[in-house]
């Protein structure tokens, strides 16, 4: 499985549509796979029965592999789209689940992404929208996550510039 983790308004939906034109590829719309696997990890870690029953990390990895395989029952190359994949902890876990991790990321200057959001939302106070708006914060958080993942694992990323 390959992951698509881009900053908002940078062309990931367009790329997904283009990839889905290939008969041997399935590129998901924004997926909940990362959140589902994260919930399984959290439940595993906080459940006292995990330790008392002798649950080991390799058991958790098998559970996560099962979730991943069950989510996409296809022989096609799967590209799962989700903004959380570049998170350092998630990348470390996924390296245990599937070995190598490859992330495709569409990128575009942040100011253009922010302008695109502003054009869609037409806020009354553009300065407030840009500094403290929920969508702006989502954009900046996505950028930071992508940047941190790339700093730690630069060989695991393929950047595609929006043009």
Parallel, antiparallel, or unpaired: how do β-strands 25-30 and 103-107 relate?
unpaired
3-state secondary structure of 100: coil
User: What pLDDT shows up at residue 59?
Assistant: 95
pLDDT tens per residue across span 41-56: 999 999 999 988 998 9
**Sequence-ordered list of residues with C-beta below 8 angstroms from that of 95, at least 6 positions apart, any chain:** 101
Q: What's the predicted TM-score (pTM) here?
A: 0.90
For 123-154, the pLDDT digits (tens) are: 899 999 988 889 999 999 999 999 999 999 99
What pLDDT shows up at residue 162? 84
Instruction: Read off the pLDDT of residues 47-90 as tens digits, 9 standing for 90 and up.
Output: 999 988 998 999 999 999 999 999 998 999 999 999 999 999 99
């Amino acid at each position: 499985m390959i992951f698509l983790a881009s900053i908002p308004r940078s062309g990931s939906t367009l790329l997904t549509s283009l990839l889905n034109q290939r008969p041997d590829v399935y590129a998901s719309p924004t997926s909940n796979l990362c959140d589902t696997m994260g919930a399984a990890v959290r439940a595993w870690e906080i459940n006292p029965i995990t330790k008392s029953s002798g649950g080991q990390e390799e058991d958790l990895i098998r559970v996560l592999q099962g979730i991943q395989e069950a989510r996409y029952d296809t022989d096609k190359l799967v590209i799962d789209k989700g903004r959380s994949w570049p998170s350092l902890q998630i990348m470390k876990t996924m390296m245990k689940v599937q070995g190598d991790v490859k992330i495709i990321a569409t990128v575009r200057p942040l100011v253009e992404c922010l302008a695109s959001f502003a054009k869609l939302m037409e806020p009354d106070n553009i300065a407030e929208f840009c500094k403290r708006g929920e969508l702006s914060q989502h954009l900046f958080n996505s950028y930071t996550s992508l940047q941190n993942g790339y700093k730690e694992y630069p060989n695991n990323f393929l950047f595609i510039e929006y043009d």
